[in-house]
Amino acid sequence: MLMSQGREARLRYMANGFRVLVAGDHVTCAVTGQPIALDRLRYWSVARQEPYASVEASAKAERGA
């Protein structure tokens, strides 16, 4: 989907995956601010509806730091 290249996606995070609400090729980590390609997205919070670039970023968000 070339029209969504370089565009941030909007996702609905669920327990076992996510649903694309607005097409794009990446999301932005809620902790670090770095872009995460959708095919590399592995960590997110269902409760906070936030994506994370790494397990460390996820743990930091969980601690509220």
Residue 1: pLDDT above 60?
Answer: no
Residues 18-44 have pLDDT tens digits of 999 999 999 999 999 999 999 999 999
Phi, psi of 12 (to 5 degrees): -110, 115
Q: Which two tokens stand for residue 24?
A: 């794009």
Prediction pTM value = 0.88
Of the candidates 58, 10, 6, 2, the residue with the CA atom closest to the CA atom of residue 32 = 58
Residue 15: pLDDT above 60?
Answer: yes
